[in-house]
Structure 1
Amino acid sequence: MSSASSAVSDSGQSVTSTLWRSADFRRLWLGQTASQLGEHASLVIVPLLAVLTLDVDPGQLGVLRAVGQAPLLLLSLLVGAWVDRWRGRTVMVLADLGRTLVLGGAAAAAVIGGLGLPTLLVVAFAVGTLSVFFDVAYQAFLVRMLPRDRLLRGNSAIEGSRSAAQIGGPALGGALVSLLSAPIAAASNALLFAWSFVSIARIRHREAIPEHVGRPARLWRRIHEGLRFVVADTSLRTICLASAAFQFSFAAVMTAYLIFLTRGLHLPGGAVGLVLAATGPGALVGSLLAARLPSRFGYGAVLVSAAVIGDGVLLFVPALHGPPAVTIPLLIAVNFGYGTFGQLVNVTVMAVRQAVTPDRMQGRAAATITFVGMGLTPLGSLLGGFLAGELGLRTAILVAGAGMMLSPLLMGLSPLARLGRELPLPEGG
């Protein structure tokens, strides 16, 4: 290693070491990690609560999942602009408190037999809305808390835990349902939000009050700037389209998949949790691979190939038949593979997005990609319920799984596929 490279490495290690010595950063990281785990675990626990406790049909489950995902479509862009004018710590604390109370109340109602589908729909929408506020607020707060020379390392650490939680959270939700009943799993999930509340409430950083320029025209102008920036950048535009294709189809797959496990393969609740939990170890392996493979084989090659394998492995699910002793190991293998390569895609996409986006646009670019990428998930969930009711569970999973393959196809036909071993710079940078 050259002396210049050694100096850069030592400097990076020094920044990272100083970052983790900050008590406020550790509290933010711990709180954000607990919140993200709770948020993504609830995406499994709440539907399983409906399936195992209320015996809902595919159409009803599709509606429930769509209602919980609707805030992503309805609120992401507005919340992204609103949070710029509020204290991020306050928003996060209130969002955590709200989710703790809502999920805790739902768990209590389920235990005493007072939980119905209308109440669960309200719970799903409330948790989804509060999650949108938290997710946008922590990104804004990080920029206000850290000096610029620590921002890249801090953002990488925070976003890395979020990416892991996207796959590890459902695994945790499955594990909780496996070890506990669905209502007790919901109560345990509420404790994650309580943990986040306590951790973030202890942050001592004195956050400046953002400037209140309340004219609606300025709010919409900022939203428009974020949309225009993402659309104009080829890499970000492709990420948006590929993410939208994946999230729409994956939402349809999961709606049918959760019912298929219990009613198609006749797995007990504990086995369902065990199967879903297999994505967790896979996500850990994917994170380790993401630290090495892109710099060795190129970001584009890793991104496209991992998406093909991770999405394609779910196409094997409809072919599974037989007793639980046969299907459970195969399902664990499928979910482990999806977790591994799905996490590899998540981390690689995150690195590319951050690299091509200037600092001043990071928040709005993230909100725009969330809006476009996740905004179609309510419609995907409704489609999954419809397909399962009309075509059957196996056909619904096969059709929706085939739709997921549009994501690697879009990336493979774009300049993203040609990215080399080094991350690109922002356009004009």
Structure 2
Amino acid sequence: MPSDPSPSSSRPPVTRPATIPATPVPSSKVGLERSRRSAEPGLWQDRDFRWFWAGETASQLGEQATRTVLPLLAVVALHCGPGRLGVLRAVEQAPILLFSLLVGAWVDRRRSRRFLVVADLGRAAVLAGVPIAFLLGVLGMPLLLGVAFLSGFLSVCFDVAYHATLVRLVAHDRLAQGNSALEGTRSAAQIGGPALGGGLVSLLTAPLAVAGCVLFHVLSALSIGRIRRAEPEPGGAAGQSGRGMRMAEQIREGLRLVAGDPALRAVGTASAFFQFSFAALMTVYLLFLPRALHLPGGAVGLVLAATGPGALVGSALSARLPARFGYGVVLVGAAALADGVMLCVPALHGSGAATICVLMAVNFLYGTFSQLVDVSANAIRQAVTPVHLQGRVVATLNMVGMGLGPLGSLLGGGLAAWCGLRPALLAAAAALTLSPIYLACSPLARLGRSLPERREADPDRGDRRP
């Protein structure tokens, strides 16, 4: 199954995690090389972009590994049942709902690079409390809930600021190459991160494995701190950043744009359907693998890492399929295939090689088609959103799409406690199909081979105008 979606996506990790959430597998190197090749040579000659790319890579690896380690820690070391695991995942996802809009408006008003460094160092400090508490013999569920909440909040800060930083660091004519490079990195992290997390749990025990996640966030902060280029004032000469505008007005401007644009509204609604069901599914899935199928930690990491190679294939296909079949066909078809394949999982039994191979195949297919959805949805979002509203639109879509995740996690835990792991997993997998059904009925299904054109917004009203 995939690793959890990062808050920055519109549909998982967009929000469709291609998300859960063993040693890192060598194919992660393929993802890193693919991300390098995806940017033209001139971009890689930019020293500051290289440091930014290195920092984002380390942060993604740390985040993906953490999303594997913390739930496994709760299940294996603290013996959490479905209810408590659902609460843990809900607490981890709650900051997306609570803080996304505020952080998005704040990032659009300020230089965003320092947000990245502070968020990385903050996550390192928070996560370091887990192995320290374990060594002192005071590790318990209350501490883990606090760590999950604070880490989730800092991840919201990093993910929103990262999108704004890219736009301010890379020239406009190289944004496509920069986005492609960083998407390749994310795919590589989806290979190496879960495998790394599962391997660390197997080798060091879950509490001590968190120390490895700390290291990646420290490396990310150091890399981003090496960027020397002066960060421009947000909003540029046009003054569209609304520096004189109150934060509440800026938040409303982002909300109006998402609510008033048919494409953005459809992306957010489809993501909300998906994230609610996916959060329920993942809560049950994290229990289903070790308890119903009796898979060890290393096998869990290997199974989850299979999503990453699929995401690499999806990234390659995303450059060709929309141009051939149209964005609408790709979105609806890929979403239906990605979500539909998960219905196979509840039928599996045992922990043998055949079961592991089937799980890896399911996750590979999920990663392939889910990445097609992610890349297409991100392209649509970037195409229709004015540059000065990118941070707020990302934050709004994160809140709309992933804000229902906490409720989904609680529902998944409650279903598993009430009717058992296998029936709950089947119900959650069936609920995933709501997202492609909605997409098929939305304006996105009618998109052709070209992206919709960007129209600027009235800076005083936030309205769209030709």
Shared fold per TM-score greater than 0.5: yes
Corresponding residue for 2:318? 290
2:8 maps to: none
User: Which residue does the alignment assign to 1:76?
Assistant: 100
Output the amino acid matched with 1:98: G
**Counterpart check, 1:200 vs 2:228:** no
Unmatched tracts of structure 2, length 5 or more: 1-36, 236-240, 456-464
Which of these residues, 415, 418, 429, is aligned with residue 387 of structure 1?
415
For normalisation by structure 2, the TM-score amounts to 0.83
User: Is 1:106 paired with 2:130?
Assistant: yes
Q: CA deviation at 1:162?
A: 4.3
Which structure carries more helix by proportion? 1
Distance 2:106 2:142 in 1: 30
Map 1:9-408 to 2 at 5 A.
16-111=40-135, 113-159=137-183, 161-162=185-186, 165=189, 169-170=193-194, 172-177=196-201, 180-208=204-232, 218-408=246-436
Question: Is 58-67 or 290-299 further displaced after alignment?
Answer: 290-299
Q: Is the 8 A contact 2:164 2:390 kept in 1?
A: no
Deviation at 1:340, TM superposition (A): 1.5
Task: Give unpaired runs (5+ residues) of structure 1.
Answer: 1-12
Q: Secondary structure at the match of 2:294?
A: coil
Q: 1:264 to 1:45 in 2, by over 3 A?
A: same
1:137-166, CA deviations, whole angstroms, 9 ceiling, x for partnerless residues? 222222333343334433443355446656
The CA deviation at 1:404 is 1.0
Q: CA deviation at 1:84?
A: 2.6
State the 1:39 CA deviation. Answer: 1.9
Contact 2:281 2:425 in 1 (8 A): yes
Structure 1 vs Structure 2: percent identity of aligned residues?
62
List per-residue Cα deviations over 1:230-262 (Å, max 9, x = no partner): 111111111101001111110100000110111
| 1:72-122 deviation line (CA, Å, top 9, x unaligned) | 000000011112333322111111111112222313333554311111111
TM-superposed CA distance for 1:127, in Å, is 0.6
**8 Å contact from structure 2 (residues 107, 391) kept in 1:** no
Task: Tell me the equivalent position of 2:7.
Answer: none
Tell me the C-alpha RMSD between the 2 structures: 2.4
Distance 1:221 1:189, change over 3 A: same
The answer on whether the counterparts of 2:194 and 2:301 sit within 8 Å (CA) in structure 1 is no
Contact kept, 8 Å, 1:247 with 1:377, in 2: the verdict is yes
**Structure 2: distance between partners of 1:225 and 1:171:** 41
Distance in 1, Cα, partners of 2:135 & 2:313: 37
Question: How much does 1:182 deviate?
Answer: 2.1
- How many residues align? The count is 416
Letter in 2 for 1:318: P
Cα distance, 1:202–1:426 mapped onto 2, change above 3 Å: same
Contact 1:174 1:275 survives alignment (8 Å): no
Higher mean displacement: 265-274 or 368-377: 265-274
How much has 1:357 moved relative to structure 2?
1.9
The 2-side partners of 1:167 and 1:416 are apart by: 30
SS at 1:84 equivalent: helix
Q: Distance in 2 between matches of 1:417 and 1:173?
A: 37
Give me the TM-score of the superposition, normalised by structure 1: 0.90
Displacement of 1:325 in angstroms is 3.2
Contact 1:40 1:170 in 2 (8 A): yes
Q: By how many angstroms is 1:41 displaced?
A: 2.7
